[in-house]
Amino acid sequence: MIVYLSQKELDAFDQSKEDVLVGYAYEWEGEGVVHLHTQPLTHAFGQISGCKFSKSAFCTDVVEDVRWLVFIDEGCIKVGLRVDGGIQYVGFQMIPSKENLYSRSKGILEVGVLQNKHVAIIGLGSFGSQIAIELSKSGVGEFSFVDFDRVELHNLARHTCFIKDLGRLKTDAIEEAVLGKNPYAKIHKYPLDISKNRMELETIVSHVDLVICATDNNPSRFVLSQALFDFQKIGIFGRAFTRAEGGDVFVYRPGQACYSCMVGNIGVAQEEITNEASARQNGVIPAYVSAQDADAMVQVGLSADIEPICNMMVKLALVELSKGEASGISCLEDELVYNYYLWANRRERKFTNWHVLPGAGPMPTIMRWYGAHISRREGCAICSDDEILLDIGDNLE
Ligand SMILES: [Zn+2]
């Protein structure tokens, strides 16, 4: 039998006035694994039974339906399983407290630095859901999740959620996924449409250190871009092109080009349409297109083609969040200096003329990142301001 206990819960019980507490045993049926908790889990799993926690090894009076016993006696912990009227003692492992949970990443990432960072993720689809989980694994301690969508069948192949999550708000499902990696993460949930709730969006953006812009359409990205500019916050935008043949990532750093400058400079690439409802709402699929034809226009790529783009967004976020602090990721500051990155998965459509990977030398090929500097654009609807332009002068690229 493999048994797990929570250090945080045991400490709380040890410091409480109670001598005995009946908690919960969650057992993965037929797998010989049990997790013992003093408090009920929000999302229970397995077969649930009782577990008696007591502060004295002599406190063995029988409680009905309780198979598991945990004794804490002056720092000494014993776990017992009631078998045929007797107690069989078993070994256990501890889920560490907050300070120790990420000690393994110490030296690689300054966990202490990231623990105090607050990241907003706008859009929890195939991009946002993966990025949320990756950032929590890296040690980011606080999140604001914004998405009004629910988990649907057509999402599952590219989403981190499971069949059991069908119908749930993505904000709730991703909260559970993140807490499953880091139970000490602080999470704020906003199941709302940012285009219709500008004030709320502004409040959210104003409170965070960095914004991951992972919505699936340009109108919402312009709304985000405006909020980033107004509050001078760093934002990382990512998207996939049709059927995820490739994708790009744009970083907004206050004072540099904004998303609108980027679109004005390089044009709007043909993007993936992943969601008919959203594409109709934004006019990408015109109203006169029948449901059958619209179905053919919804073209999604493989999750494996989305992942490299998400990974770049995560790396860029970590570099921005740990800037100025000594950490293992600091060396990437010398590499990730651009504000625009382009990636191709296949030699299709806009990448048809790219070179075959073997022997391509310096010619552009698939599965390599290409960085570029996008300059601020005169007359940009969001960030252009003649006086500001004059002040910045030569710093404009
Ligand atoms: Zn601009």
CA of 188 to the centre of ligand 1 (A): 29
Q: Whose CA is closest to 250, among 275, 231, 230, 271?
A: 271
How many domains in the chain? 2
Q: Mean pLDDT across the stretch 212-223?
A: 93
CA of 377 to the centre of ligand 1 (A): 6
Label residue 269 by pLDDT band (50, 70, 90): low
> Quick check: 50 pLDDT over 60?
yes
CA of 334 to the centre of ligand 1 (A): 25
> Quick check: 393 pLDDT over 60?
no
Q: Mean pLDDT across the stretch 86-113?
A: 79
CA of 386 to the centre of ligand 1 (A): 12
CA of 349 to the centre of ligand 1 (A): 28
> Quick check: 389 pLDDT over 50?
no
Assess whether 191 and 52 both reside in one domain: no
CA of 253 to the centre of ligand 1 (A): 11
User: Of 95, 115, 150, which residue sits at a domain end?
Assistant: 95
Assess whether 118 and 18 both reside in one domain: no
Judge contact between 51 and 25, C-beta under 8 A.
yes
User: Of 27, 62, 95, which residue sits at a domain end?
Assistant: 95
CA of 396 to the centre of ligand 1 (A): 12
Distances in Å between the alpha carbon of 200 and those of 53, 146, 203? 44, 10, 5
Query: pLDDT, tens digit, for every residue of 173-189?
Result: 999 999 999 889 999 99
Distance, C-alpha 383 to centroid of its chain? 28
Higher-confidence position of 104 and 121: 121
Distances in Å between the alpha carbon of 131 and those of 24, 125, 219, 249, 355? 32, 10, 22, 13, 30
Window from 16-30, 262-276, 374-388 with minimum mean pLDDT: 262-276
CA of 261 to the centre of ligand 1 (A): 4
What is the CATH classification number for the domain harbouring 83? 3.40.140.10
CA of 313 to the centre of ligand 1 (A): 20
Amino acid at 49: S
Label residue 111 by pLDDT band (50, 70, 90): low
- The structure's pTM equals 0.88
CA of 265 to the centre of ligand 1 (A): 10
Assess whether 114 and 79 both reside in one domain: no
Q: Whose CA is closest to 236, among 226, 246, 247, 228?
A: 228
Assess whether 52 and 112 both reside in one domain: no
Assess whether 253 and 182 both reside in one domain: yes
Percent of the chain with pLDDT over 90: 65
Please name the helix (run of DSSP H) or strand (run of DSSP E) that holds residue 73, with its range, or none.
Answer: strand 66-73
Q: Mean pLDDT across the stretch 112-121?
A: 91
CA of 381 to the centre of ligand 1 (A): 7
Judge contact between 350 and 249, C-beta under 8 A.
no
Window from 123-132, 205-214, 222-231, 259-268 with minimum mean pLDDT: 259-268
Label residue 84 by pLDDT band (50, 70, 90): confident
Assess whether 89 and 151 both reside in one domain: no
Assess whether 207 and 263 both reside in one domain: yes
pLDDT for 102 equals 72
Assess whether 196 and 130 both reside in one domain: yes
Q: Mean pLDDT across the stretch 104-118?
A: 75
Assess whether 88 and 110 both reside in one domain: no
Partnered with residue 95 across adjacent β-strands are: 6
Partnered with residue 79 across adjacent β-strands are: 70, 90
Assess whether 110 and 90 both reside in one domain: no
Assess whether 164 and 312 both reside in one domain: yes
What is the CATH classification number for the domain harbouring 217? 3.40.50.720
Handedness of CA 31, 9, 185, 125 (dihedral sign): positive
Q: What is the DSSP string of 162-218?
A: -GGGTTSBHHHHHHHHHHHH-TT-EEEEE-S-TTT-HHHHHHHHHH-SEEEE--SSH
Higher-confidence position of 201 and 291: 201
User: Of 60, 95, 130, which residue sits at a domain end?
Assistant: 95
> Quick check: 319 pLDDT over 50?
yes
DSSP 357: S
Domain hosting 9: range is: 2-95
- Average pLDDT along the chain: 88
> Quick check: 388 pLDDT over 50?
no
CA of 359 to the centre of ligand 1 (A): 39
Distance, C-alpha 124 to centroid of its chain? 8
Assess whether 78 and 134 both reside in one domain: no
CA of 147 to the centre of ligand 1 (A): 25
